Structure 1
């Protein structure tokens, strides 16, 4: 996972990006999907969520996106248990904010996970990010700082 820190910024070209990572910053204001669909957007949004103490939302959403790509049952079981213990379990270190019915349903079925095991929780977290966090991100110093960097080129 990429990090933005005092030592690392999204300015300039990075070898892991095929094009300028900030070339799409202006499009991020169109939708949360534009932010989440871009590696640099994910990094910036994660940094913003971290500043609001809600980084677990994007980490869970990203983990679910990777989970859906799993091809083998053993890998699915292992990954499902990791996601559950990190984000869903009532004592999880990065517990996500979901209703008890959704949490109970995942808990009940975690012993036999499927590729859709986390879909309902992922939709809730996506909705929370889109409705609540994303509008604040667009007003944040992080986003406006990146916009200024792209404007000054």
Structure 2
């Protein structure tokens, strides 16, 4: 289920009176959490890595990027992270082709903004993918997010609202 932080936070502002009540809102949303999912939101400002290693941080950042029409960046980055965990060659080929078709090829539905050399190298090698096939593109997108999107996210009403609503434990 897609989680929309804007409407969720509006709901929280209207109906949630404490961080403890956020457990009810987020119950079952982030299975890897052993505590309130937004308790660590204040640590997201320490680095983009802190943000991206937290499922709730990823979701909040994705929602922010969606509002800026650049959601493809985090979707690509996450797809690459998942891709690097693949163990079987057939699964790697299938996943590499999906990532290429969805994000890399010219006119892809969620085409990422990478230089033509990187795009050409991926295109040339897509028929024989390996676990490092998307590393250069992933690093470029990571740098783009870290340099441009992440600072705007930290200043955004969305992140500030998360902090006010329950990000501090």
* Structure 1: gaps (5+ residues): none
Alpha-carbon RMSD across the aligned residues, in angstroms, is 1.9
1:106 aligns with 2:103: no
- In structure 2, the CA distance between the partners of 1:45 and 1:151, relative to structure 1 (3 Å rule), is closer
Specify which structure has the higher proportion of helix. 2
Structure-2 residue corresponding to 1:132:
148
**Count of residues paired in the alignment:** 153
Aligned-pair CA distance for 1:19: 1.2
Q: Deviations over 1:10-65 (max 9, x none)?
A: 96122223210001111001000011000000000000000000000000000000
Change (3 A) 1:150 1:91: same
Gaps of at least 5 residues in structure 2 are: 13-21
Higher RCO structure, 1 or 2 (CA under 8 Å, sep 6+) = 2
**Distance in structure 1 (CA, Å) of the matches to 2:77 and 2:168:** 32
Deviations 1:111-136 (A, max 9, x none): 00000000000000000000000000
Could you tell me how far apart the structure 2 residues matched to 1:5 and 1:127 are? Answer: 24
Deviates more, 1:37-46 or 1:4-13: 4-13
The answer on whether the counterparts of 2:45 and 2:154 sit within 8 Å (CA) in structure 1 is yes
Matches within 5 A, 1:23-34: 23-34=39-50
- Deviation of 1:3 (Å): 2.2
Is 1:53 paired with 2:69? yes
- The answer for the alignment partner of 2:85 in structure 1 is 69
**Mapped pair 1:83 → 2:117:** no
